[in-house]
Structure 1
Amino acid sequence: MDTITQRFHQALQAFKRSSESDILNKMQAQITPPQIFMLYYINKLGGCKLTQLAEKMEVKPSAVTVMIDRLEKSGYVTRSHDTVDRRAILVEATPAGKEVLEKAIQERNEIIGHYLSRLEQEEARILTELLEKMMGIEPQK
């Protein structure tokens, strides 16, 4: 089992590196994969507190602040004080942030589609269902 575990890990890491590199190249370094994840989460919630982001990304709030600084400088998010708790900072995606996120998701889907096109349609379905099973995700039909 150790051999299959190592092979799986190596293949997964190679896929991650390659797909992230492809996304960065297509996006022309407008945004990094961690920033995409952060922007996705912010947009999904319609805005959130910095502490929520830190918890979701499993990092310290100071690390999130640095990333938010970069996103804000690029015009992808805005910060404001929570009206209920003035100590809390809320972050929201701007229209430019939503646009770059949409583009990143589109590019990601095209890249993953390219990799999946190397498989037969049935193999792609089986691979997807096996990953869903490994992650405890209910398969979509």
Structure 2
Amino acid sequence: MDTLIQRLLVAFHHLRKKLDQDMQAMTSYPVTRTQFILLLLISREGSPKLARLAEEMNVQPSAITVLIDRLEKLNYVKRITDPDDRRSVRVELTPLGREIIHDFRQRRRGILKSYLNRLSEEEIRTLTELLEKIANGDPFDTEGKGQ
């Protein structure tokens, strides 16, 4: 079992590295992987508070401030005052930021499709079901009771 776990970890690492490299090669935007993740999070959340972003990304609020400053200078995001709490700041995507996210998602989908072209439809279905099972499972269920 330990050998299989090691193989899985190595495969995940290589897949993530390959996806990052392929996305970087196809992207002309001057943003880092972390900034893309932040843009995706903002897109998903709508107009989150900076504290919420720091919590989601597991970083200090000051780190989020620096990231948002850079994205704001690129005109990808803008800060807005929270209508419910004027002391609080929220952030939202600008039209350019939304365009970048749309383009990114299309490119990512195309890259993933090219990876999956190596598999049969049945293999893709099985892979999807297994990943969903892992993602939805209880990480502390070490005896497989949650099946």
- When normalised by structure 1's length, the TM-score is 0.90
- Once the two structures are TM-superposed, the CA of residue 98 in structure 1 deviates from its matched residue by 0.1
Residue aligning to 1:120: 120
The runs of at least 4 aligned residues of structure 1 exceeding 4 Å deviation read none
Larger radius of gyration: 2
3-state SS of 1:80 partner: strand
Aligned partners of 1:105, 1:30: CA distance in 2, in Å?
16
Aligned partners of 1:31, 1:73: CA distance in 2, in Å?
12
- Once the two structures are TM-superposed, the CA of residue 29 in structure 1 deviates from its matched residue by 4.2
The yes-or-no answer on 1:133 pairing with 2:133 is yes
Instruction: State the structure with bigger RCO (CA 8 A, min sep 6), 1 or 2.
Output: 1
- Once the two structures are TM-superposed, the CA of residue 63 in structure 1 deviates from its matched residue by 1.3
- Name the count of aligned residue pairs: 137
Residue aligning to 1:103: 103
3-state SS of 2:124 partner: helix
- When normalised by structure 2's length, the TM-score is 0.87
- Once the two structures are TM-superposed, the CA of residue 106 in structure 1 deviates from its matched residue by 0.6
Identical amino acids, percent of aligned pairs: 44
Given residue 15 of structure 2, which amino acid in structure 1 is its aligned partner? F
Residue aligning to 1:9: 9
The yes-or-no answer on 1:35 pairing with 2:35 is yes
Aligned partners of 1:54, 1:72: CA distance in 2, in Å?
16
